[in-house]
Amino acid sequence: MDTLKLAGRSLLPFLVALPVLWIAEGSLADSKSAQIILMAAGINVILAVSLNVVNGFTGQFSIGHAGFMAVGAYTAAKIIVATRGLQLVGLPPAVSDQVLFFLALLAGMITAAGAGLLVGMPSLRLRGDYLAIVTLGFNEIIRVIIENTPFLGQATGISGLPRRTTLVWVGMGVVATLVMARRLVGSTHGRALLAIREDEVAAEAMGVDTVGYKVRAFVISSAFAGLAGGLLVHLIQLCTPRSFTFVKSIEVVVMVVLGGMGSVTGSVVSALVLSFALEGLREAQQYRMVLYSILLIVLMLTRPTGIFGTREIWDMLPRLKRRRAEGGAQ
């Protein structure tokens, strides 16, 4: 019974989201630009929430998220290119394409998770700013490697990818990320992460395997970054190292910091707000980065923990909060 309940709790969001996404996609069928903006925003939500697992829950400061995105993106893109024209036995072409896309995204997540493990194992023994620098360095190393590997198309990248990313795919990715984040926080694992954030030395003294938990959080976070990368390159139909620079990593960091380090809903809201706001500023690319940096400085000076802090949105609405508290009491 319990396992059934558990499975239901995990599957329900997907089952609810799927028809909603289908309807959304159908109703937006004529407006390509609205679809693209929504998909871009959704990808940003995946990135922000997954980075929040490391930066917000665990309190480790990683600024190399774009590196893991790149790993996932290149894996997915290479698989899609390699299987072009291939049709799975017994499936109609349209379905076969979708299944292959799913497998490519999955492979991207796995390689990104592997990269996360590779970087996380040694570097998560470091603390604070050192970890930031190492993740930044890793991001740059990935870029240098891609730019020097003919197999990955060097600086020009892989072009002519089919547009496989749809609103439904992005939506399901968002739901998967949210379910992961919410269920993680409530679990033993999540509590250990929060303990590490509050005081690493004390957590260690209480018997929490800090390095182990940090590495696991890092791996999960990079897997979802890889998913976002795979979705992104099949949206813009182009995979170049320029999409995965340090600047991209910082954009995600800004989303997490703005929303509140440790608040899932905060990350979602800030990712959406920033995506839509910046869509309006697309004309003025240069001003956009200046605004970003001013936002970051002002935010840190006035609200160092972000707008929501470690609270979720429902903690901020008094009525909802009371109801939840009463529910807990019963």
Q: Which residues bind other proteins (CB under 8 A)?
A: 59, 61, 63, 122-123, 125-126, 128-130, 132-134, 136-138, 140-141, 144-145, 147-148, 199, 201-202, 205, 250, 253, 257, 286-287, 289-290, 292-297, 300-301, 304
Q: How far is the CB of 59 from other proteins (least distance, A)?
A: 8
Of 134 and 167, the one with the shorter C-beta distance to other proteins is 134
Q: Report helix, strand or coil for 159.
A: strand
Q: Report which residue type is found at 223.
A: A
Shortest separation between residue 128's beta carbon and other proteins, angstroms: 6
How far, in Å, CA of 313 to CA of 222, rounded? 25
Q: What are phi and psi of 101, to 5 degrees?
A: -65, -45
Give the nearest distance from C-beta 201 to other proteins in angstroms.
Answer: 5
Q: Residue 67 CB, nearest distance to other proteins (Å)?
A: 11
Specify the amino acid at residue 43. Answer: I
Minimum CB distance to other proteins, residue 144 (Å): 4
Q: Which is nearer to other proteins, 22 or 61 (CB)?
A: 61
Other C-beta atoms within 10 Å of 327: how many?
8
Return the number of the residue (2 or 129) whose C-beta is nearest other proteins: 129
Total count of residues recorded for the chain: 330
Nearer CB in complex with other proteins: 20/144? 144
Q: How far apart are CA 259 and CA 308, in angstroms?
A: 6
Nearer to other proteins, 175 or 203 (CB): 203
- Residue 198 Cβ, how far from other proteins at the closest point, in Å? 11
Q: Which is nearer to other proteins, 119 or 268 (CB)?
A: 119
Minimum distance from CB of 285 to other proteins (Å)?
A: 9
Q: Where are the alpha helices (H) located in the chain, listed in sequence order?
A: 2-27, 32-52, 65-82, 93-123, 128-148, 167-186, 188-198, 200-205, 210-236, 246-259, 264-280, 285-302, 313-316, 318-329
Burial 246-260 (b: 16+ CB within 10 A, else e): eebbbbbbbbbbbbb
Q: Comparing C-alpha atoms, which of 47, 1, 13 is closest to residue 274? A: 47
Nearer to other proteins, 55 or 165 (CB): 55
Least spacing, CB of residue 152 vs other proteins, in Å = 14
Q: What's the CA gap between 187 and 135, in Å, rounded?
A: 27
List Cα–Cα distances, 205 to 54, 196, 202, in angstroms: 21, 11, 5
**CB nearer to other proteins: pick between 134 and 176:** 134
